[in-house]
Each structure stands twice: as structure tokens, then as C-alpha cells.
Amino acid sequence: PWTRGGPPCERRMAKVGEGDERWIVKERADGQNCNNWHWTTRDVSGHTKKVLGQKLKELEFPAGGLLAHCRIRSAEVKGDCSVNNRKGRTFLIYEFEVKIKWEGETRDEAGAVLESTKGSMRLPDVCATEIDDPEVEFESKSRGSALSEAMRTQGVALVKASVKSIVLELQEEVRAGAAEQKPAAAGPAPLKAPVPTPIKITP
């Protein structure tokens, strides 16, 4: 017994077999992280970097205009990305550096090359807080030319929009996968019917 400014009271524990069935203390399939309430992290850097790099290499510039014959030669992605769960919410935490090499030319109506050049773009900080307008470092072998200026303005804007779109697609992919694997909400354990005790009959 113990007291704290009041009448004596006792701390008691239920005896075996006398516990309320609503006290869910037994083993359960979702017992480790019920409904994704606790923070969990899973590294998905390899997958996201591969997808982002591949889709940027497949980027197509507008068929009409100076960028019609431009293309992405390579796209290298460095950094980290993880899937995180907290209080039932699933989201990506990512921080990438993207390096792109591009090349292109302008042609006349007959298909003859008028100008050819190449260059690079570097996005040093692709993250959730910068995804709407990431910084881009632009380089060109013929800075100031018509093709180079078109790539610096139109091409950079297209690359930035593509990076944002790809990352958001990956985010939705993660959320959809989490929704499919989400465990059912925990409810009270079903009450068990009492087991009858056989009556002994003495002859």
C-alpha cells in the first residue's frame, strides 16, 4: 500500500485468466507498427536515381523550333532517397544532384546542319523544398548563339519541369504501394466463449 495525500490505495495486477479481453496485449500481425504510426525508414536511393536518370535521358524537346534536333546525351543522378512512414502518412525524403549532358544542332529546310553545339546542366540541390524551382547551372560550347540561348531558356525550363514531374510520380508510386499494403485498423479482440467444465459422476 502507498499513499500520496489521501487514503491508502493499492496497485493490483489481474490474475491469469481474469484480464479484460479488450486489453490487446497478445501477439498480433500489425503489433510492431500498428497502422504505420511509428516512424519507419526504407532506403530506395538506387531505384529512384535509376528511374530519374533514365526518364531524363528519354526527354524529348519540342518538335518545332530551335530545339527540334536536340537531345540529352547522359543524365547522372547522385544522392539519397528514402520512403518514410509516420502517423499513417507515407512520403519521400530525397536530396539529389543531377548532371546532364546535352547536344544538338539546327538545320535548314533541306536538312543541312547550320549550327551544332553541346553543353551541360547541373542541378545541385533537388529536394522537397526546392522542387518547384531548382537551381540550374548551365554551360554551352557556343554561349550566345541562337541554339545555345534557346537551350538556356526553353531547354532548362523543360528539364526543371521534367525533374519535378518525375519525382512527383515516384512520390505517388510510393503512396499507392503503401495504400495497398496498409494493414486493417486494429479492433478489439473477439470475446471467447467460456469452456464448460465436465461434471464428474461417481457411481
Do 122 and 96 meet the contact criterion of CB atoms below 8 Å apart?
Answer: no
pLDDT of residue 195: 61
> Residues with Cβ < 8 Å from 89, sequence gap 6 or more?
36
Nearest to 126 by CA among 100, 153, 155: 100
CA 196 to CA 99: how far, in whole Å? 74
- Per residue in 91-114, pLDDT tens? 899 999 999 999 999 999 898 999
Q: How confident is the model at residue 88 (pLDDT cuts 50, 70, 90)?
A: confident
Question: Phi and psi of 122, rounded to 5°?
Answer: -130, 125
**R_g of the chain computed on alpha carbons:** 31
Do 135 and 125 meet the contact criterion of CB atoms below 8 Å apart?
Answer: yes
pLDDT of residue 184: 46
CA 113 to CA 156: how far, in whole Å? 23
> Residues with Cβ < 8 Å from 42, sequence gap 6 or more?
82, 83, 84
The secondary structure element, H or E, covering residue 62 is none
**What global pTM score does this model have?**
0.69
Q: How confident is the model at residue 85 (pLDDT cuts 50, 70, 90)?
A: confident
- DSSP, collapsed to helix, strand or coil, labels residue 47 as helix
Mean pLDDT of 46-50: 95
DSSP string, 125-172: EEETTTTTS---EEEETTTTSHHHHHIIIIIHHHHHHHHHHHHHHHHH
- Per residue in 127-167, pLDDT tens? 999 999 999 999 999 989 999 999 999 999 999 999 999 99
The secondary structure element, H or E, covering residue 49 is helix 45-57
Q: What is the DSSP letter of 12?
A: -
Dig out the grid coordinates for 51 from the structure. Answer: 528511374
